[in-house]
Amino acid sequence: MSKLNLTEDPYLVNKGLVICRTVHPPHTFGIFYGENPLQFSFPLVLLEISTIIAISRLIRYLLKPLRQPRIISDILGGIIVGPSVLSRSKRFRNFIFPDTADYALKNIGLIGFMYFLFISGVKTDLTQIKKAGKKQWYIAIFGVSIPMLCSLFIGIGVRKSMKKELAKASSMLGLTSEFAITAFPVIYPIIRELNLLSSEIGRMALSTALISDVIGIQFIVVFEAAKQGEQKSMYALWFLISSFLIGASIFGGVRRIMIWIINATPEGKSVEQIYVVFILLGVIVAGFLCDLGGIAVTNGPLWLGLAIPDGPPLGATLVEKSETIVMDILMPFSFAYVGFFTDISSMYGHWSYLRPIFLMAVTAYVVKMVTVLFTAYFLNMPFRDCLALSLVLSLRGEVEFLIFTHWLDLKMITRAYFTMLVVMTIGVTAIVTPLISIVYDPTRPYMIHTRRNIQHTASNTELHIIACIHDEENMPGIINLLEVSNPTTHSPFFVHALHLMELVGRAAPVFIDHKEEQESDNANSQNPIHNALKLFQQGRGGENMFKIHSYTSYSPKRTMYQDICKLALEKKASLIILPFYKDQFEVVARQGVQFVNSNVLKHAPCSVAILVDRGLSMRQSIHHFALLFTGGADAREALSYADRMAANPDVSLTAVRFLSHNGEGDNEMDKKLDDGLVTWFWVKNEGNHKVRYKEVIVKNGEDTISALQAMKNEFFHLWILGRNQGINPVLLQGLTDWSGENELGVIGDFLVSMNSGTTSSVLVVKQQILRGQEPSSISFLEKFTSCGL
């Protein structure tokens, strides 16, 4: 190592080629010692973290009404702290982000990208490629090849005006392939934010993007090899050998270790902490080995993530333990890393040599949208869905930023090119994302014109029911409710039992049809809920009165209602049964169940019943049920359901109709419909000594509560009532302490509280709302600015 005597040779100092700084320890003793904390590395890093995250969070809050995805606020935060805005000021730059901070900032940012791709790989299920249909393959192939060719033709036409490095064949291949490919890690988080994961378009977009990525990887490998071979042809060979060896080691060796860890983990238990630590450390090792072999450093973490089986126990544990710190702590550094390379002023006066790349990118983006649109339309998809799919597959994000940074490292592009490409990426995603929300509503197909409810289902036809089950605790209540609902050989029940599981450690939702699974695997199911339903069906005489078809759905809580409504629509169900967690600690332990119930009530294509089970049992010889008829469509549906139960010889039913004093507050049309149905019910059950009917006159909500409390003296195993729709407001007047906005309605909410500590269950029924009969429609602006993200 040579030593430099700057006093004897001041030339380098005078030219600014040598900068002398005082070296401080990492920690300060404090401002009371007269020291500036920002001259010490550790306080400076803490300030940088706080500044970057605070600015990103502020922008996210400001952009939320415009339905911008998280990536837009994050990258804008990075650009704002960069030389385009705040760091344009030398004082701010020297104060918060001095030259000595670049090293830490950029390296932490690169580590953030490594772990982001690792988590994306863990969530990815490569077997989805085998399950993809012809539509996804056609859309992916045409959606990549046609835009790539069109962009290449434009590039050839303007090649003479390009810089020498960009005009090379390898660079043209890299540019056109990147502009044409849709990255799975990019569209997944945006689809999740838009609550489209369980929708038809969401599922198709994820499958198509996965196929597109597989195609894109081939072009990236060729591009990297060509770039390596520009210096010496042997370098390209060594690159391919390194890629093969590292890839084979990860997918052949490391994957076997991951499977062994899964097999060694007891069912229902979490993976041991030591394994998690070593795997997360393996991300850094994989990046190091790739860098050592001349491969892009982020490839190793991505391959390692793909080698780990998605879902529980291993994939779910890794995502659960690392996702928050990666997305909320490391990734802001990654966006700041991009932001410090982005300088808007660098584009001024350089349009002449920026124009070729701009034309190539715009051509690829536009042609891709049009190609996906017409390919999907040719495959008989509805035009609105085609447009939504083309918009989703046009999204750009983290992967593009990483590739642009890689091009910058290869000296393939300059800062001006980099800035233009980043701005275009932001522009495309910022424009497209709100358009997706406007064009595509996943709940629209659920509102139908056909009546699918119990009231209008003939008593001598098969009744289709969707029974939703969150866990084994829901099973007894659901089974007992179906039992007392009186299925017969003339009016059998076809129960579609849907086991709802939260999606953890996976990107794409999974919907399992256990009947098809059993036929294909020819094996007994190990699902205890599925087995319990089979035993129940066999105990009820096979399929004469009960037909049970079991499903399992893995999806996020925010989109779980879409699986329920979609199944109800496809099976032409008349009723959806939902469980309700009545105790506060249960709601906290199972966050999101209330959100699921509320959205099913709002969007269901049929009637909905919510069961608050407190021990509904078949052990009693006679079951005492109470029907509370408060008027309106929901009450009529509840009466129709109770009428079916009344035909069960083991059921004793007390029907109580609540009427307002002198008919105050009555809706004339609802009153006529109520009178007709009640009269029919009474005439039908007049000879049934186990059915009692009485009427109660009330003046306000206080009288209603008093009547309900008086009924408490007569124990009922099950209370049946309608929710809210069409109820006379006089019956609820003054009941401000009870919420009518929750799943149970005002009276249902009171009944659950009144019967707390007892074994009385409550069944709240809501009748289907037909399309065009929604209570109110929100305006376009309200829909656009609703905070759904």
Q: What is the DSSP string of 4-48?
A: --TTT-THHHHTT---------SS---GGGT--GGGSHHHHHHHH
For residues 536-552, one letter each, b for 16 or more C-beta atoms within 10 angstroms of the residue's C-beta and e for the rest, the string is bbeebeeeebbbbbbbb
- Model pLDDT, residue 476: 84
For residue 382, whether the previous peptide bond is cis, meaning omega lies within 30 degrees of 0, is no
For residue 22, is pLDDT > 60? no
Contact of 687 with 730, CB cutoff 8 Å: no
pLDDT digits (tens, 9 = 90+) for 667-694: 888 889 988 988 998 888 888 888 888 8
Among 2-6, 196-200, 550-554, whose mean pLDDT is lowest?
A: 2-6
- Rounded to the nearest integer, the mean pLDDT of the chain is 83
Q: Which residues have CB under 8 Å from 677's CB, separation 6+?
A: 455, 636, 639, 640
pLDDT digits (tens, 9 = 90+) for 584-610: 445 444 557 888 888 898 888 999 999
Percent with pLDDT over 70 in the chain? 87
Mean pLDDT of 219-227: 84
Mean pLDDT of 139-150: 92
Mean pLDDT of 12-35: 59
pTM of the shown model: 0.82
- Model pLDDT, residue 105: 80
Domains (ranges, CATH) in the chain? 51-439 (1.20.1530.20), 452-516+527-608 (3.40.50.620), 614-772 (3.40.50.620)
Q: Which residues have CB under 8 Å from 507's CB, separation 6+?
A: 120, 123, 124, 125, 184, 188, 206, 310
Task: Read off the pLDDT band of 721 (50, 70, 90).
Answer: very high
pLDDT digits (tens, 9 = 90+) for 327-344: 888 888 899 889 988 989
- Model pLDDT, residue 558: 86
Question: Alpha-carbon distance 392 to 646, whole Å?
Answer: 51
- Model pLDDT, residue 401: 93
Task: Read off the pLDDT band of 393 (50, 70, 90).
Answer: very high
Question: Alpha-carbon distance 393 to 186, whole Å?
Answer: 10
Question: Alpha-carbon distance 344 to 352, whole Å?
Answer: 16
For residue 775, is pLDDT > 90? no
- Model pLDDT, residue 522: 46
Count of CB atoms within 10 A of residue 594's CB?
15
For residue 531, is pLDDT > 90? no
Among 135-144, 432-441, 634-643, 700-709, whose mean pLDDT is lowest?
A: 700-709
Task: Give the best-scoring range by mean pLDDT among 22-31, 38-47, 65-74.
Answer: 65-74
pLDDT digits (tens, 9 = 90+) for 82-133: 888 888 888 888 777 777 667 778 888 899 999 999 999 988 888 888 888 8
Contact of 239 with 228, CB cutoff 8 Å: yes
CA–CA distances in Å: residue 315 to residues 307, 501, 504: 10, 15, 8
For residue 16, is pLDDT > 80? no
When comparing pLDDT for 541 and 312, which is higher?
312
Mean pLDDT of 169-189: 89
Task: Read off the pLDDT band of 784 (50, 70, 90).
Answer: very low
When comparing pLDDT for 160 and 25, which is higher?
160
CA–CA distances in Å: residue 49 to residues 98, 108, 210, 280: 14, 11, 33, 22
Task: Give the best-scoring range by mean pLDDT among 264-273, 422-431, 680-689.
Answer: 422-431
